């Protein structure tokens, strides 16, 4: 009797150890390897849509120091999609595409991006507006302040433009949204510092259509509980199955 009764006590430390090991591994993965993000805006359409849930590879670019020689890190390349801390409010996370790396000379002419005098082939870009915006589409423009333009960036930009081209300084990156006409990006608030970069989107592990789109009605603040119940009961229907488990390129 004594031996049988004491067995649960003997197994308790082992079970606790397994639980703690699982927690430590999970925390390590979340902190150092991958992190989950949700796309909240249309600025990266059609590459990333509102309602896409991403796993972000935090190991891709490393963090400098000795680890860069031991791990398969690589530099940030032009054309990479990155997740980063918004320079004007580091508590927010943005996702954009890198257009200019340190030393590049960037300009837009009639919406076409030129880097170091060569036009970029960007088959992923979407233009959703028929209106020609001089600041947005003919960037950089030093004589045309516009709504949404950060004042400090406006002053900094004037010092970095030569021959109509914006020079990307060391340790910084120039980023744009793929939905070029509906994106708050480096044109309006400046460069992304290297230390602000978290990683790159690796996988869309889930994607949901807008509930309002599915219901074909506009939401109001009082509808939150009803919308939650609708989402739970129609989860299979509002999931974008064609985007789920899709690699991000």
Conformation bin of residue 40: beta by default, left when phi > 0, alpha when psi is -120 to 50: alpha
E-only strand ranges, 137-237: 161-162, 165-167, 172-176, 192-193, 197-207
Determine which one of 14, 18, 41, 96 is catalytic. Answer: 96
Q: Are 56 and 34 in contact (CB under 8 A)?
A: yes
41 an active-site residue? no
In the chain the beta strands, taken as DSSP E runs, fall at: 34-38, 52-57, 81-85, 93-100, 105-109, 112-115, 118-119, 161-162, 165-167, 172-176, 192-193, 197-207, 246-247
Locate 121 and state its tokens. 């082939």
Task: Please report the sign of the dihedral spanned by the C-alpha atoms of residue 146, residue 158, residue 199, residue 31.
Answer: negative
Of 72, 75, 42, 53, the residue nearest 177 (C-alpha): 42
Identified catalytic residue from 43, 172, 186, 207: 43
- Asked if residues 81 and 47 have their Cβ atoms less than 8 Å apart, the reply is yes
Respond yes or no: is residue 96 known to be catalytic: yes
Provide the annotated active-site residues: 43, 96
């Amino acid at each position: 009797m004594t031996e049988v009764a004491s067995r649960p006590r003997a197994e308790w430390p082992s079970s606790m150890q397994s639980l703690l090991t699982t927690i430590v591994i999970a925390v390590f993965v979340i902190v150092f390897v991958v992190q989950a993000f949700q796309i909240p805006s249309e600025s990266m359409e059609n590459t990333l849509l509102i309602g896409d849930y991403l796993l972000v590879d935090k190991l891709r670019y490393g963090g400098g120091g000795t680890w860069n020689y031991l791990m398969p890190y690589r530099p940030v390349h032009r054309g990479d999609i990155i997740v980063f801390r918004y320079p004007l409010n580091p508590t927010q996370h943005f996702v954009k595409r890198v257009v200019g790396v340190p030393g590049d000379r960037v300009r837009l002419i009639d919406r076409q991006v030129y880097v170091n005098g060569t036009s970029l082939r960007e088959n992923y870009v979407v233009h959703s507006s028929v209106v020609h915006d001089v600041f947005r589409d003919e960037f950089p423009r030093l004589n045309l302040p516009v709504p949404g333009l950060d004042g400090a960036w406006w002053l900094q930009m004037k010092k970095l433009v030569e021959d109509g081209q914006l020079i990307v300084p060391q340790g910084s990156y120039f980023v744009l949204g793929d939905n070029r006409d509906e994106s708050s990006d480096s044109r309006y608030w400046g460069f992304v510092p290297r230390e602000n970069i978290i990683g790159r989107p690796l996988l869309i592990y889930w994607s949901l259509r807008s509930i309002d789109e599915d219901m074909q009605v506009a939401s109001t603040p009082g509808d939150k509980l009803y919308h939650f119940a609708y989402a739970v009961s129609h989860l299979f229907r509002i999931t974008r199955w064609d985007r789920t488990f899709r690699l991000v390129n």
